Amino acid sequence: MSEPTSRPLWQWSATDIARATHAGEITAGEVTEAVLARMDAVNPALNAVVESLAEEARAEAAALDASDAPKGPLHGVPVTIKVNVDQEGHATTNGVAALKDLIAPGDAPVVRNLKAAGALIIGRTNTPEFSFRADTDNPLYGRTYNPWGRHLSAGGSSGGAGSAVMAGIGPLAHGNDIGGSLRFPASANGAVTVKPGLGRVPAWNPSQTAERGLLAQSMSVQGLLARSAKDLDLSMPALIAPDARDPFHVPLPWRGASPVPPIKVAVTRDDFGFGLHPEVATAIDKAASALSDAGYDVTEVEPPLAFETGEEGYRTLLGEVKALMGPDIATHGSETVNAIFDAYFELFPPYEGPDLLRAMAKRSHYARAWSLFLQDYPLVLTPFLLKPFFNAGRDAEGLDGARDALGQAHWSFIMNFTGLPAGNLPTHIADLPEGPQTIGVQIAGQRWREDLIVDAMRAIEERIPPVCTTLWERMG
């Protein structure tokens, strides 16, 4: 939708900012000042942006406005970067105090691609320690709060990004996802995201001194949080531009071949025995109805090996984490994060030794089963979490807290273990005793067909508007 000219610039979408800067109707400097003023107004209460880059952004905006060079697709669009990714001259802390002086010698591919597209980086956003929690808090920067209220976690690990983008601190926010770190904060804050599939967005940190584990390379992806799927459609083509520093990047265009309509969508409400909360069921029903109204062929059908894929995938990942990251977590992590990992390891006993190697090998078994299923159903509509989002700090409240926050998130883990793309968007605002909150649903899809997922989310948004306006009215 086009932005009314009466609406303040910080509320404008990335799509309308780019259109207006290309047309010369507004300048990059004007947009930057509006968003920086919004950051000054709301960030002190949220702690979403932990490093302001106001002066750098002003200088870059002035340079863009003075340049006669062709304008990139994100010309003048403000964006934030998560503190676990390299941005030259800034610390890549990963939320860990011991890394506060780890200054990046160069830009990661995702940062380079955003800059090349004309985006303006206005700040760096918070993440939990080691970027491995579904909530965002750490001893270095403190807690990030949800703009909907303090009755809710801001999610993790891209909690700073989710809080910032929904509060109006830029229309785009970089994040990443190894088990749900884009989709958890999307669900918590009411943002829209698509977790790219394996190999889709180039990734590497110039500051790293060792290669990541094989599963981390295969399951972790870079992406964006936005307020609408339309803005993802605008920005994702820039994000997937190739970079030779990632030798496993897949250089495919954003748009694949158009499928023959109607596109089949498999809908599942499988709760794996944990129970599906009525508000989550409502969100699924609304999404399915919107897709059906848009001409999709929506069918109730269960995907293959769903619980097993999620369970085995997370036990396998935690086996690698325990072996490769365990000593650093024990040495440099807080008591809180070490206790959380103890709970993780109890909930999902890590595979070790030859069992870990066998579990890694079996990954292709699950990916193959899903690939065959997706031949018949190119899209799958699932719950994300099985109940409304949890309160801040819930994952640190012993085994029950960790189970509430992460122990029932199999629909998230499935997509990382198989390397499939998965979107998340809110389709319902639940009015709960603790306060209002958005309920997000997940739409997964065929490998390298993020475009089909984003198209489906756009179709839903035409029938269920994004929640940002409701949030801003609530924030006052």
Q: Which two tokens stand for residue 147?
A: 């703009």
Contact 380, 144 (CB under 8 A): no
Q: Is 100 a catalytic residue?
A: no
SS3 259: coil
User: Is the Cβ–Cβ distance between 318 and 344 less than 8 Å?
Assistant: yes
Number of helices and strands (H, E) in the chain? 18, 11
> Strands of 379-383's sheet, edge to edge?
49-52, 120-125, 78-82, 172-177, 221-226, 192-195, 422-432, 435-445, 379-383, 264-267, 297-300
DSSP labels, 23-83:
HTSS-HHHHHHHHHHHHHHHHHHH--EEEE-HHHHHHHHHHHHH--SPPPTTTT-EEEEET
Joined tokens for residue 52: 């302001």
- The token pair that represents 335 in the structure block: 């008591």
CA pair distance 33, 122, nearest whole angstrom: 10
Q: How far apart are CA 106 and CA 228, in angstroms?
A: 30
Query: Position of tokens 């649903």?
Result: 441
CA-CA distances (angstroms) from residue 211 to 29, 105, 204, 245, 324?
39, 17, 9, 12, 11
Residue from 13, 71, 82, 115 carrying the catalytic annotation: 82
Catalytic residue among 157, 158, 163, 220: 157
322 has catalytic annotation: no
82 noted as active-site residue = yes
- Cβ contact 259:452 at 8 Å: yes
Looking up tokens 């320690």 gives 129
Distances (CA, A) of 355 to 212, 323, 327, 351: 20, 13, 21, 6
Of 13, 131, 181, 187, which one is the catalytic site residue?
A: 181
Q: How far apart are CA 140 and CA 162, in angstroms?
A: 19
What is the Rg, in whole angstroms, of the alpha carbon atoms belonging to the chain? Answer: 21
Q: Which helix (H) or strand (E) holds 221?
A: strand 221-226
DSSP structure class, residue 439 = E
Helices (H), 168-277: 183-189, 214-219, 229-239
Helices of type H across 168-305: 183-189, 214-219, 229-239, 278-293
Catalogue the active-site residues. Answer: 82, 157, 181
